Structure 1
Amino acid sequence: MKKIVVLLIFLLWQGPAFAQVDTVQRVIADRYNSPAQQEKPYVILISADGFRYDYADKYDARFLKGMRAEGVEAESMLPAFPSKTFPNHYSIVTGLYPSSHGLINNHFYDPQRKEHYSMRDRSKVEDGSWYGGTPLWVLAEQQQMLAASFFWVGSEAPIQGILSTYHYIYNEVIPIERRIQTVVDWLELPEEKRPHLITFYLPEVDHAGHRYGPEAPETRQAVQDLDKHMQMLTEAVAQTGLPVNYVFVSDHGMLAVDTKNTLPMPAAIDTSKFMVSGGGMVVELHAKDKKAVKPTYRKLKKEAKEYAVYTKKKMPKHLRYGTKDDKYGRIGDILLLTDAPKVFHFSSRPPAPGQHGYDATKVKEMHTVFYAWGPAFKQGIKVESFRNVDVYPVIAEILGLPYTHKIDGSRHLVEKTLK
């Protein structure tokens, strides 16, 4: 009897938390595709978070391997620095590096606003003023082409005052079968209400990679489960008979890190003089008094072991993460970057065995995938590795969405991959 009472108390205490999960689809009324846009193709942009460049072959994702063989495959796709989830998902849909679009990490400090942004803070995630650039769904909606999002970084915020016509607040409780059916339902709407751009996000491979490491059997299973879900989605969409194009990407790879010999907070950091932001592979120090930057930098350089120390002015140019790149003034005055597989760890909780965030030009395990297939793509094409900011022009070209704003990506993939 005592156990039953305890269980009831636990369920009653947990109840409100479960009740707060928001699974309702948002639909913005009074929007329609223009007659010209109704004639355009369709694109489903899919991200399998944490899907490393070699996972499909390593774990025998047979369906994905078959689809890439019928379309376009890249040697790999390089995430922007830092190779984290929020910066890179937003880079893919804006064609901008993190320093250009403002989401410089999953969690960061903005000295101008004197506020912290966190991917776990709903008030920040849903505040469009944090997001720069023009995401693909905003570009589409601006040109009277409807868009839908079954999750993507930025899709819950009115960016430039615009949300996708169809969208959801992020949650992980909606079953994959329901999500796939929702995509089909969208594509079966009347032409004037049917979205031509759909974003679709899958977190399970990333969760497994973090929790168990990239070499674990659980990660293998997550990859194979995702492969089955991709087949389910593609076969269900095929029943609509529409000319749908698929772009399958990810935000970053995954590395088995050194969990036994983590790096503590360096002794040279005086937290009364600096706001400390980040952790893991990248620690950023925001000086409360700029006079503290030079002496602290010198001390850190002397004691640095298994990590590199830079001032924002002297960051390596290829990272696009220095003073000249920092459009929103959010990058720290001093940056500490660990040598793989080392991580900074300031928490009492044990570090995750699988992590990401390193410079992808130095750590191949940070590379991810680009597979694309459908009527717009060439067949049996393999292209060299490229940066993820180059995806934006490809999707804009397929959908016939011109843009005049400047992006960091180039159009070289357009000619190489599209018919």
Structure 2
Amino acid sequence: MFFCKERSWMMLVILLACNRGNAQETDTVQRMVTGRRNSAAQQAKPYVIMISADGFRYDYAHKYAATNLLRLSRQGVRARSMQPAFPSLTFPNHYTLATGLYPAHHGLVNNNFYDPTRGARYSMSNKTIAYDSSWYGGGPLWVLAEKEQLLAACFYWVGSEVAVQGVRPTYYYLYNEAIPINERLKTVKHWLQLPEAERPHLITFYFPEVDHEGHAHGPDSKETAAAVHFVDSAIGRLCAMVDSLQLPVNYVFVSDHGMAAADTVNTLRVPPVDTTRFVTVAGDVLVNYYAKDKALIPELYQQLKSTADGYDVYLPDESPAGWHYRKQDDRYNRIGDVLLVARYPRMFTWGNKRPNPGRHGYDPQVVKDMGATFMAWGPAFKKGKVIAPFENIHVYALVARILGLTIDQPVDSKENVLNKIIK
């Protein structure tokens, strides 16, 4: 009996220790940079809540009857589609939305990539690397705002956890999916109830759910529909909570890319190369090869071209001009020397990886289902306006204009593209 009790007690101690370890791994604490205040002039500015629902395809709101988003967009502006940058992946496009720069111009050229100058890999899942600000070019909107003494808060966004140009948002969280949605919504309301000098005028907010379900079950699944309804319900609650404060709050609802039903049967194998001569970074749609000796590039290129089936092979200077993914665009030397791009609906697999039925990353100019969502409503926007598709780089200039920020460095974003939607 004593042995059993002792064993049970020991198991309880081990369990509690494991739980403490897991709690420590999930960091849910709000960070705050102290000593900052909105300047007196900035306190009179309007507010922008910039919301991203990852993987929320351009047609999901109608396809799955997202009643709140449809109602709110009728009170403002909706684009028929928004074109993501190539590659149509999460990290490159969230950072493009934040900086107004194409991926090859801001440096996040893929979710995972190699930097030959550093001799190191960037991986979105490696937090040590992902929190290193030296990987991030450009200047995100929250950096621009803080430089002009306009406070910003980020409830997640790519790059918001790091000090880009030495600046973090005043309020931010390290990314996790452990904070319940109602707590997150209440935090936004709390930020907007702070004294005027401490109140953020730019807030970013991120939903991962639609992307998760789209990958796991495909864009036409009941699980994806449920995730769309989850986001739609949360947006309805957020607007009700914020609107009760009677502040001039503008909402910009976007996604980073769409989602397509991929061929999970006729998958492509990543062509193997000599690892002593090349570095390979492989994704489901895009594969980047980096030559350790540039003299080896022509041989590899011809070899891959001669056996290509189900994918296209490019030297960077051969890639479509609309991708802005050529050597002349590659400001950080991270694109690589030879590119493989799967032809939709095919995708690459390797090892024993089980292919998911939902994929993105394809050429957004060719594959319509890569199209993202853009909706906006609030006092700054015209009402009942539906606009033609546009490139997502232009969201940056739109938000900067609404907040009265002066763009202080060259960007690809153009203010005149979305001028027509502002009152």
Partner of 2:291: 287
Once residues 194 and 409 of structure 1 are traced to their aligned partners in structure 2, the CA distance between those partners, rounded to angstroms, is 27
1:137 aligns with 2:142: yes
Once residues 6 and 305 of structure 1 are traced to their aligned partners in structure 2, the CA distance between those partners, rounded to angstroms, is 58
- The amino acid that maps onto 2:68 is F
Q: 2:313 aligns to what SS in structure 1?
A: strand
Moved more, 134-143 or 308-317: 308-317
1:270 Cα offset (Å): 2.6
- The amino acid that maps onto 2:376 is A
Once residues 6 and 106 of structure 1 are traced to their aligned partners in structure 2, the CA distance between those partners, rounded to angstroms, is 43
- The amino acid that maps onto 2:195 is P
Q: 2:275 aligns to what SS in structure 1?
A: coil
1:14 Cα offset (Å): 5.6
Is residue 80–residue 387 contact of structure 2 (8 Å, CA) maintained in 1?
yes
Q: CA-to-partner distance for each residue in 1:43-82, whole Å, 9 max, x for gaps?
A: 0000000000010000000110011111001010010000
The one of 177, 181, 184 aligned to 1:179: 184
Is residue 392–residue 409 contact of structure 1 (8 Å, CA) maintained in 2?
yes
The one of 33, 36, 47 aligned to 2:52: 47
Partner of 1:408: 412
Partner of 2:346: 342
1:204 Cα offset (Å): 0.5
Is residue 148–residue 195 contact of structure 1 (8 Å, CA) maintained in 2?
yes
1:243 aligns with 2:248: yes
- The amino acid that maps onto 1:404 is D
Once residues 4 and 72 of structure 1 are traced to their aligned partners in structure 2, the CA distance between those partners, rounded to angstroms, is 61
Partner of 2:323: 319
List runs of 5+ in structure 1 lacking aligned partners: none
Q: 1:360 aligns to what SS in structure 2?
A: coil
Q: 2:287 aligns to what SS in structure 1?
A: strand
1:218 aligns with 2:210: no
Is residue 376–residue 398 contact of structure 1 (8 Å, CA) maintained in 2?
yes
- The amino acid that maps onto 1:406 is P
Q: How does 1:14-413 map to 2 (within 5 A)?
A: 15-266=20-271, 269-413=273-417
Q: 1:92 aligns to what SS in structure 2?
A: helix
Q: 1:330 aligns to what SS in structure 2?
A: coil
1:414 Cα offset (Å): 3.5
Q: 1:201 aligns to what SS in structure 2?
A: strand
**Number of residues of Structure 1 aligned to a counterpart in Structure 2:** 418
Once residues 102 and 168 of structure 2 are traced to their aligned partners in structure 1, the CA distance between those partners, rounded to angstroms, is 22
Once residues 141 and 45 of structure 1 are traced to their aligned partners in structure 2, the CA distance between those partners, rounded to angstroms, is 16
Q: CA-to-partner distance for each residue in 1:77-126, whole Å, 9 max, x for gaps?
A: 01000000000000001000000000011111110111111111111111
1:20 Cα offset (Å): 1.8
Q: 2:49 aligns to what SS in structure 1?
A: strand
1:279 Cα offset (Å): 1.8
Once residues 281 and 165 of structure 2 are traced to their aligned partners in structure 1, the CA distance between those partners, rounded to angstroms, is 27
Once residues 6 and 152 of structure 1 are traced to their aligned partners in structure 2, the CA distance between those partners, rounded to angstroms, is 42
Q: CA-to-partner distance for each residue in 1:331-359, whole Å, 9 max, x for gaps?
A: 11000001001111113120111111001
Moved more, 386-395 or 311-320: 311-320
1:413 Cα offset (Å): 3.2
Q: CA-to-partner distance for each residue in 1:150-194, whole Å, 9 max, x for gaps?
A: 000000000000000000011100011000100000000000000
1:271 Cα offset (Å): 2.6
Is residue 383–residue 416 contact of structure 1 (8 Å, CA) maintained in 2?
no
TM-score, reference length from structure 1: 0.97
Once residues 282 and 249 of structure 2 are traced to their aligned partners in structure 1, the CA distance between those partners, rounded to angstroms, is 40
**% of aligned pairs identical?**
51
When residues 95 and 5 of structure 1 are mapped into structure 2, their CA distance, relative to the original with a 3 A threshold, is same
Is residue 51–residue 205 contact of structure 1 (8 Å, CA) maintained in 2?
yes
Is residue 279–residue 346 contact of structure 1 (8 Å, CA) maintained in 2?
no
Q: 1:403 aligns to what SS in structure 2?
A: coil
1:260 Cα offset (Å): 1.4
Once residues 343 and 10 of structure 2 are traced to their aligned partners in structure 1, the CA distance between those partners, rounded to angstroms, is 48
Is residue 96–residue 408 contact of structure 1 (8 Å, CA) maintained in 2?
yes
